[in-house]
Every structure is written in C-alpha cells, then in structure tokens.
C-alpha cells in the first residue's frame, strides 16, 4: 500500500500541532508535509510582550526544522487548490516559481488576516498586532514617539506623540495596552522632558465591557487595574475614522494621536477567499469532525474554520472560538480523524470544553480563570507566565523566554530602536543580456518599467490579435496585469540586452493609480487596448496575503 500523502497548509498553531499529531498517529506510515510562508512558528500570545520589549522577536519564535522531525517543511506561498485533481499550487523560491503538490488528505490551517478597510483612514495609519513584524514595529514606534516628544517645542506635536490609542478591548487589545503602558512607564525616567501626566493611553471598545469572555469580577479587576495605571477605557465607543494625526470616535470625539493600534478587523486570508469553499462568517464551514463537506479528504481547523460544537449549531451559533487553546485540541482530533478515515473507520466529532482564560495586564498583574479557579494580581500574572513558558514549543525558546523574563526584573528595558531593512517599494534592478526576469506562471507581484536596455516578452498563450512576443525598450513597461489581481505571470520576460528596470510593488502602483487620475487613466486605456477592463475592486486595500 502506498503511504498516504497529507499536506498541511499554514504554519500557525493549527498547522504545527496537526503536523505533530499526525506524526504521532501515523509514525512512518504517512508522508506529511507542512507548507508555510515563513520558516518559523510564532507564539502569538507573546506578541504583546515582544511589542513591549520584555521578549525579543527572535525568541518568541522557533524554527519549524527544530520543531518538526520527520515532517517535510516547504517554505512557500499557497496560491490555489484544485480539489478535483487533489493538487495545491504554491509559489516557492526566489523566482516564486509555481509548483504543484499532490495530496491524499489536505488540511487547511491558513488563519485569518487583518482587514481595516471598513473604517476610513484606519488601514494606512494603524499599527496591527498579528505578526512578529507588527510587534517589532510597535515597540520601535512607541520608542520613536518618546524620543520625539522629548525634543519637540510644539505642544500639539507633543500631545499627539504622547497619546497612545488601542482599538479593541479583547484579549489582544488589553494585553497590548497593559504591556505598552509598562514599557512607557519604565522608560520615562530616561526622557527628562516628558512627564507621566502628559501621557494618555486610551482603549476604545465598542461593546459595553472589556475581556468579554472573562467572568465579571475578573473583568472589573482588569479595568480597575489598568485605570489605576492611567489607562482610559472608553466602553460603547468605537473608531469612526483615522488620519495620520487624529482619530474620530463613534461618539464624535476627536483625539490627537500618532499611535493607533488596531486589534480588530479579522477577515479571511485572501488565498482562502479565492478557494472554491463554503465560507460562513468569513470562515470555512466545516462539519463537526472538521472535514470540509463535499470536497473529499479536505479538512480545516483553527481561525480559518467555523467549527460547530453541537449538532445543528448553525441555529444556535455555538462555534469553537478562534483561540490557540482550541486550535491545539482541534489539531489532535483532526489527526485522529484522518487516521480513522485512512483505516476506513467512522470519524468522531470535535468536542472540547475550554479550560478557562488568562490575560496579562503588564506591570506584574494579570487575571486568570482556570478550571473554575479565579485569580487576580501577581499570582494570576505568574500563572500566565508559567503556563505560557510550559506551552511554548521548543526547549531553546523556553530557555530564552524564561531568561529574558528573569533579566527583565533586574535590568531596565532597552530603548534601542534598530531599523530593519525593508526593500523600497520602487527599486532598480540590473540584468545582463539573456537573464530571465520572470517566467510565465511565476507569481505576479510587481510592475516593470525599462530604464535602459531592452526586454523580450514572450507568451505561450497569446490573446487573439496579440503577438506571441514583443520587445520593450526604454520608457516602455510590462507586468501591468497584476492590477487586475492576476496572481500569475502570463508571459516570460528576459533581458534582450544589459538592462536596468524599475520595479514597483503592486500596493504602491495601486496607491499611485488611486491618487493621480492621469496615471490611472493612462493604464485604464492601456488595458482597454489589450481588451481588459480596469477592475472595480482595484484601489485601497490592506488585507495582506
């Protein structure tokens, strides 16, 4: 019997723990492959601490190659799934070459993304708290605001710099604000021109309570603790709009602020939205055994799946919450069900009762409700840390995090703000004659203009009336189909001579098109000449792949 090939898409809690559980279920009896955009696992509950500098970014992560022995790890971007052919297409390598992976069982664990596009101005001006890069950026941003406030002579600039706003009073919002307040309070003695009473830290929560999943007493404690430390909590208040210097609340108040951290706005990952799958509330509607109905050996779990906890749950809205705690339990059940399916046995429904919830409030305070035991203050905070360090996958990560925490008790928080290099959105690239710029089928992510030299564009699939090859010289451009949302190149581009091109990222291209009407109408006409329409959906968007 050939070994079943099980492919897992996504390297978050759902993907990692499914890979581990499958390995336990099957041993060497299955080929297990994890497809992940990054080569490391991020322990998301530690992100607020990374954002406040008590844990460094690299230590809140672990490389998959340490965590997953005997599981093939493929660093690649998932593009699409052909459920009939049972293949996944991914983009991998420097050239983002499309590669097909076949599967007998497919596990979709691609999480969700942040989409702030529903609130005017929020997407371009807000910081988010979902990825390691977000947490790293928040820490640098807070330190920069303190640096700026310390030297400015303009009161309105100082006011904006020293007002820190967090949108959302759920777990990630409250933990982020608690940690951020601690970073600020512990740093102030190094900024002689900033006093504590000039600082405002605000949480906007649209509901009438923070930490909605917590019992009333713990919620009240958390609110009182934060307020005692100078955090203003505005309930029944959301964000209506944002600019680079101000936000407007749904109550009509204007707040001068240079820091808006949005912990709201979950949306399906674009790749999941593109799949031919039933989505309910933006998540993949799975059956109780975590299988995707009518797709044959396709399964889903974690934040991207809507998992009914009871039969007929649709009517009662009883679904598994999108938490790491649940994703880890779902992973075990999903792996056991794949093993049952492989043995032609009946699968079993996912069942799990939450063991409770904990939140760190920063400054060595927390709240915990674990198996009916309710704790507040230092003990709850200590329990939070002990639990997470025990749960953190990988021994080296546990040692590093623990040692950071111990050192954090006796040393000041570092205020070093290293700038990480991000490639410019518009950049020059040099090619020698004959070099391949991209190949037909590669992932499309930029727009090209020839500065010097010439580029030969050839296609194996010319449109009616279009030539199979053309030459583009200085001032000419190519690759503009990505405006249409095309994820793949429809032609191959090679340097016909020694050539310099300028490459512009899709996001920047779309911003220019949005801002400069002649730029947009030039490309609208250009696409029309090719028999293509400028898409209605082209424009402002921040939902990342």
Where do contacts with ligand FAD occur on this chain (CB under 6 A)?
10-15, 35-38, 44-45, 47-48, 77-78, 109-111, 129-130, 171-172, 269, 271, 302-304, 322-325, 327, 545
Q: Nearer Cβ to ligand FAD, position 12 or 446?
A: 12
Q: Which residues pair with 447 in a beta bridge?
A: 504
Least CB distance from residue 9 to ligand FAD, whole Å?
Answer: 6
Residues 47 and 69: their CA atoms lie apart, in Å, by 26
Least CB distance from residue 37 to ligand FAD, whole Å?
Answer: 4
Q: Nearer Cβ to ligand FAD, position 14 or 160?
A: 14
Least CB distance from residue 531 to ligand FAD, whole Å?
Answer: 30
Neighbours of 426 (CB within 10 A): 15
Token pair recorded at residue 115:
């989409």
Least CB distance from residue 415 to ligand FAD, whole Å?
Answer: 23
SS3 193: coil
Q: Is 157 exposed, middle or buried (0-12, 13-18, 19+ CB in 10 A)?
A: middle
Distances (CA, A) of 100 to 85, 93, 490: 11, 13, 17
Beginning with the edge strand found earlier in the chain, give each strand of the sheet holding 426-431 in spatial order.
426-431, 499-505, 446-452, 477-478
Residues 318 and 325: their CA atoms lie apart, in Å, by 17
Q: Nearer Cβ to ligand FAD, position 38 or 253?
A: 38
Residues 54 and 71: their CA atoms lie apart, in Å, by 32
Distances (CA, A) of 110 to 19, 270, 279: 14, 10, 14
Least CB distance from residue 270 to ligand FAD, whole Å?
Answer: 7
Q: Nearer Cβ to ligand FAD, position 187 or 487?
A: 487
Least CB distance from residue 131 to ligand FAD, whole Å?
Answer: 8
Beginning with the edge strand found earlier in the chain, give each strand of the sheet holding 356-362 in spatial order.
356-362, 365-370, 373-376
Q: Nearer Cβ to ligand FAD, position 303 or 408?
A: 303
The closest of 370, 308, 396 to 43, measured between CA atoms, is: 396
Least CB distance from residue 130 to ligand FAD, whole Å?
Answer: 5
Least CB distance from residue 533 to ligand FAD, whole Å?
Answer: 26
Residues 263 and 180: their CA atoms lie apart, in Å, by 14
Cβ(412)–Cβ(186) below 8 Å: yes
Least CB distance from residue 155 to ligand FAD, whole Å?
Answer: 34
Least CB distance from residue 371 to ligand FAD, whole Å?
Answer: 15
Residues 347 and 105: their CA atoms lie apart, in Å, by 14
Q: Nearer Cβ to ligand FAD, position 33 or 303?
A: 303
Cβ(367)–Cβ(214) below 8 Å: yes
Token pair recorded at residue 529:
């000449």
Distance of CA 421 to the CA centre of its chain: 19
Beginning with the edge strand found earlier in the chain, give each strand of the sheet holding 163-167 in spatial order.
127-128, 259-262, 163-167, 200-204, 231-234
Least CB distance from residue 249 to ligand FAD, whole Å?
Answer: 23
Q: Nearer Cβ to ligand FAD, position 360 or 499?
A: 360
Token pair recorded at residue 407:
């050192």
Q: Nearer Cβ to ligand FAD, position 10 or 53?
A: 10
Distance of CA 206 to the CA centre of its chain: 23
Q: Nearer Cβ to ligand FAD, position 16 or 495?
A: 16
Q: Nearer Cβ to ligand FAD, position 300 or 499?
A: 300
Q: Nearer Cβ to ligand FAD, position 111 or 441?
A: 111
SS3 for 480-517, per residue?
HHHHHCCCECCCEEEECCCEEEEEEEHHHHHHHHHHCH
Least CB distance from residue 388 to ligand FAD, whole Å?
Answer: 7
Q: Nearer Cβ to ligand FAD, position 64 or 478?
A: 64
Least CB distance from residue 330 to ligand FAD, whole Å?
Answer: 9
Bridging pattern class, strands 200-204 and 31-36:
unpaired
Bridging pattern class, strands 5-9 and 105-108:
parallel
Residues 155 and 246: their CA atoms lie apart, in Å, by 15
Q: Nearer Cβ to ligand FAD, position 328 or 472?
A: 328
SS3 273: helix
């Amino acid at each position: 019997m050939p070994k079943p090939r099980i492919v897992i898409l996504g390297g978050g809690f759902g993907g990692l723990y499914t890979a581990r559980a499958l390995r336990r279920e099957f041993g060497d009896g299955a080929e297990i492959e994890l497809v992940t955009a990054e080569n490391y696992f991020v322990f998301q509950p530690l992100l607020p601490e990374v954002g406040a500098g008590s844990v460094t970014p690299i230590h809140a992560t672990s490389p998959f190659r340490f965590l997953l022995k005997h599981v093939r790890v493929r660093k690649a971007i998932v593009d699409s799934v052909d459920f009939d052919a049972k293949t996944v297409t991914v983009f991998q390598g420097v050239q983002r070459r499309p590669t097909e992976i076949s599967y007998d069982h497919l596990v979709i664990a691609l999480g969700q993304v942040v989409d702030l596009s529903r609130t005017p101005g929020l997407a371009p001006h807000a910081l988010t708290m979902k990825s390691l890069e977000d947490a790293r950026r928040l820490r640098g941003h807070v330190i920069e605001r303190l640096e700026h406030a310390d030297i400015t002579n303009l009161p309105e600039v100082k006011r904006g710099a020293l007002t820190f706003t967090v949108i959302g009073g759920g777990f990630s919002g409250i933990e982020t604000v608690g940690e951020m307040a601690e970073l600020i309070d512990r740093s102030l003695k190094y900024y002689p021109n900033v006093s504590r009473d000039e600082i405002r830290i605000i949480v906007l929560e649209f509901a009438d309570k923070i930490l909605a999943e917590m019992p009333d007493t713990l919620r009240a404690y958390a609110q009182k603790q934060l307020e005692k430390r100078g955090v203003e909590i505005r309930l029944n208040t959301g964000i209506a709009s944002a600019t680079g210097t101000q936000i407007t609340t749904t109550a009509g108040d204007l707040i001068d602020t240079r820091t808006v951290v949005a912990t709201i706005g979950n949306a399906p990952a674009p790749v999941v939205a593109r799949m031919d799958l039933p989505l309910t509330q933006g998540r993949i509607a799975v059956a109780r055994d975590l299988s995707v109905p009518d797709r044959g050996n396709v399964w889903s779990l974690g934040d991207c799946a809507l998992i009914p906890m009871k039969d007929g749950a649709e009517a009662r809205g009883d679904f598994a919450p999108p938490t790491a705690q649940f994703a880890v339990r779902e992973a075990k059940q999903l792996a056991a069900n794949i093993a049952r399916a492989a043995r032609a046995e009946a699968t079993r429904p996912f069942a799990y009762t939450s063991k409770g919830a904990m939140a760190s409030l920063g400054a060595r305070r927390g709240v915990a409700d674990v198996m009916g035991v309710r704790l507040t203050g230092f003990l709850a905070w200590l329990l939070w840390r002990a639990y997470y360090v025990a749960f953190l996958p990988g021994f080296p990560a546990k040692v590093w995090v623990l040692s950071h925490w111990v050192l954090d008790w006796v040393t000041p928080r570092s205020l070093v703000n290293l700038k990480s290099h991000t490639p410019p959105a518009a950049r020059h690239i040099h090619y020698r004659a004959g070099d391949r710029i991209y190949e037909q089928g590669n992932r499309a992510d930029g727009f090209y203009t020839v500065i010097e030299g010439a580029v030969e564009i050839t296609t194996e699939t010319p449109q009616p009336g279009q030539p199979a090859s053309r030459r583009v010289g200085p001032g000419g451009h190519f690759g503009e189909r990505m405006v249409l949302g095309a994820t793949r190149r429809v032609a191959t581009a090679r340097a016909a001579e020694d050539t310099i091109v300028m490459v512009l990222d899709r996001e920047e291209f779309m911003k220019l098109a949005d801002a400069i009407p002649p730029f947009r109408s030039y490309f609208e006409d250009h696409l029309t000449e090719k028999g293509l329409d400028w898409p209605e959906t082209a424009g402002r968007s921040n939902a990342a792949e």
